[in-house]
Structure 1
Amino acid sequence: MTTAYAALRNGFLTVDPDAGETTARALDGHTLECVAVHPDDPDRVFVGTFESGLHRSTDGGRTFKRVDDFPHDAVMAAAVSYRDPGTVWAGTEPSRVYRSTDGGDSWEHLDGLVDLPSSDDWSFPPRPDTHHVRWLEPDPTDPDHWYVAIEAGALVQTHDGGATWEDRVPDARIDNHSLATHPHAPGRAWVAAGDGYAETDDGGDTWAHPQSGLDRTYCWSVAVDARSDSESRTEPGGTGDPDRVLVSAARGAYQAHTAERAETYVYRREGDKDWERLDGRGLPLGEGVTRPVLARGEPDEFYALSNQGLFQTGDGGDSWNAIDIEWPDRFTDRTARGLAVLP
């Protein structure tokens, strides 16, 4: 059974897309920022909030309790290690990274992040006297390698589990919003950033910026197909690299985040082809749509969460259907903050 965990700006939903049911609703009245869950431990769900710290559920999102000893109120990013569901990372405003190795019971500050040379230039434009960790992405092939996106200023990395940090490289994006990796693609990562799209095939040492066809470059969310080249090619010896990427994008921050000014789109790129905009396929796009948050499911399957609802495609983005669930009216003028899907 597929389960979708949806964090809206002002509420959390646990959804069974196959049944079209909202199985849980929680955290109303909080300002949600992110959600994280591991497929081997679906009952333990983490949600970061802007004003009341990190919340944890042990019943699949039906109820949450604030993690009392977490040291920050503004938790902007959370992620669970691919290999170990007990290892959880959280990022805050101001920019700090914390790690738990016991499923969230206790937390260790991974210091040194703000000692990087580029940190003098980090600044979040709406609150220019601060900045935050917007995204944490574990490498599925190396448990000590993590990407950390600072909004705004840098994409940095650690190769030793946070003991030391590596500063941004010259061709990395500056205003990174989200990342994706793939278990069958060692060294590859994909980035949606306010200053455009980027991808790497060497573990973040260098970054390429294929933009052709992407007529909106304020990118917010990126998702990579669960299918890999080796599964979709008939010839033997496939590389195992994913061949289909989706990204949501707008002209700028106002068009992405503000409902009354929103105009956002979703784009798809396959292999080395140009980006194509997925208009007219059942997924609400354009005026009035805040930037969708994307997530992959099974091969060829993607989900998109926006102020218009939760949508699903089973054919790689060619056609989309709305998940028929209770959708509170107050969600229609709020941005989606996080989406996790467990097939």
Structure 2
Amino acid sequence: MSTAYAAYEDALFVVDADRGTIVREQRFDSRPECVAVADGAVLVGTFEHGLQRSTDAGASWERADGIEQDAVTSLAVDPNDPATVYAGTEPSRLYRSTDGGRTFERLPGLTDLPSSDEWSFPPRPDTHHVRWIEPDPNDPGLLHVAVEAGALLRARVDADGSVDWTDRVPSGRRDVHTIATHPGIPDHAWVAAGDGYAESTDAGESWRHPQDGLDHTYCWSVAVGLNTESTARSPPRVLLSAAASAREAHRVGESYLYRRDDGTWERLDGRGIPTGEGVYRAVIERGTDEATFWAANNHGLYRTANGGDAWTEIDVSWPDRVSEQTCRGLTIVD
């Protein structure tokens, strides 16, 4: 059974994707910002009430201990250890849990980096936040960390909680929204940023920016799978959501999906998932097999089983208000 946890602006929706039913609609007293499932627990970061945790499928919730900030803006589960969870906040802080998100400790050094004086989130220019955390599945302890806006960073975290930080590199994007890695492709990382797309083949030490065919460069979400239609040595398949600007992505509603196997980007219009006018930027997630991807936007939840060639809507009776909301986070559990 595939269960989708989709966080929208005023609620978390738990969707049985096989039956096409909303199992639970959970409202919080604050906007959900991100969602993850760790060691059997559902975790939701909220903007005003910290990290909420449920161990009974959402029937009850409690606030996780140890996170001082009220705004939890990012969550990541270590792919090598489902009991290890990372959380990012506004103002920018990084926390780690080793008990499935029950308790957290703050990891040091983030705001001591030289570039931190330049970090600022334009809508709230007096602050900034950790927008994304991506543990490297092939290098335990290595994290890629995005601060919105201002820095794409790396952190090597030891078992005792000490951290060796690497500040932003000149070729890294500054307004990163999403970072992707893949367990079958060591040393690679992919980035969707407000200042464009980027990819690394040396674990984030340097970045290149292939944009040929990418007509919309305000990039929001990226997901990566192996291209199983070709040889094992073929380049990966990259799916990307993008718009012309933040205004089109979040408020006006005109966004698109792109795919890149190698070389030129291809726009995925007319494939069964809405794109263009009236569509807010999608959040994309890779499925359990290499050809399956999921995407959620203000029109609903969609799945492709062939790498984006065709998408099928998960036929759910969404509340009408969802059509006016952006998806804040998406997690799939199979």
Alignment partner of 1:114: what SS? Answer: helix
TM-score (ref. length: structure 1): 0.92
Q: Equivalents in 2 of 1:55, 1:45: separation in Å?
A: 8
- Which of 259, 270, 278 lines up with 2:268 in the alignment? 278
> What stretches of structure 2 of length at least 5 have no aligned partner?
none
| Aligned residue identity for 1:76 | T
Contact 1:33 1:338 in 2 (8 A): yes
State the partner residue of 1:244.
237
Q: Equivalents in 2 of 1:62, 1:314: separation in Å?
A: 32
Contact 2:118 2:150 in 1 (8 A): yes
What is the CA distance between 1:68 and its match in structure 2? 4.7
What is the CA distance between 1:168 and its match in structure 2? 0.5
| Aligned residue identity for 1:156 | L
State the partner residue of 1:295.
285
State the partner residue of 1:198.
198
| Aligned residue identity for 1:169 | V
Q: Equivalents in 1 of 2:267, 2:88: separation in Å?
A: 32
Q: Equivalents in 2 of 1:320, 1:160: separation in Å?
A: 39
Q: Equivalents in 2 of 1:67, 1:242: separation in Å?
A: 40
- In the TM superposition, structure 1's runs of 4+ consecutive aligned residues that sit over 3 Å from their partners are 60-63, 231-234
| Aligned residue identity for 1:332 | S
State the partner residue of 1:336.
327
Listed as ranges, the matches of 1:21-36 within 5 Å are 21-36=21-36
- Which of 40, 51, 58 lines up with 2:55 in the alignment? 58
State the partner residue of 1:256.
249
Is 1:220 paired with 2:220?
Answer: yes
Contact 1:185 1:242 in 2 (8 A): no
Listed as ranges, the matches of 1:1-343 within 5 Å are 1-38=1-38, 41=39, 43-161=40-158, 163-225=163-225, 228-229=226-227, 231-234=228-231, 238-239=232-233, 243-258=236-251, 261-270=252-261, 272-297=262-287, 298-343=289-334
What is the CA distance between 1:216 and its match in structure 2? 0.4
Q: Equivalents in 2 of 1:276, 1:242: separation in Å?
A: 15
What is the CA distance between 1:276 and its match in structure 2? 0.8
| Aligned residue identity for 1:49 | T
What is the CA distance between 1:28 and its match in structure 2? 4.5
| Aligned residue identity for 2:94 | V
Contact 2:66 2:105 in 1 (8 A): no
Alignment partner of 2:19: what SS? Answer: coil
Contact 1:25 1:62 in 2 (8 A): no
Q: Equivalents in 2 of 1:106, 1:242: separation in Å?
A: 40
Q: Equivalents in 2 of 1:129, 1:22: separation in Å?
A: 38
What is the CA distance between 1:164 and its match in structure 2? 2.0
What is the CA distance between 1:163 and its match in structure 2? 1.4
Alignment partner of 1:213: what SS? Answer: coil
TM-score (ref. length: structure 2): 0.95
RMSD in angstroms over aligned alpha carbons? 1.5
Contact 2:67 2:106 in 1 (8 A): no
Q: Percent identity?
A: 56
Number of residue-to-residue matches in the alignment? 330
Q: Equivalents in 1 of 2:134, 2:315: separation in Å?
A: 30
Superposed CA deviations along residues 197-222 of structure 1, whole A, max 9, x for unmatched, are 00001100110101011100000000
What is the CA distance between 1:59 and its match in structure 2? 2.6
Superposed CA deviations along residues 138-194 of structure 1, whole A, max 9, x for unmatched, are 000122100110000000011234512110110000000001110011101110000
Q: Equivalents in 1 of 2:198, 2:19: separation in Å?
A: 36
Alignment partner of 1:165: what SS? Answer: strand
Q: Equivalents in 1 of 2:29, 2:36: separation in Å?
A: 19
Q: Single out whichever of 134-143 and 161-170 deviates more from structure 2.
A: 161-170
What is the CA distance between 1:300 and its match in structure 2? 1.0
Alignment partner of 1:45: what SS? Answer: strand
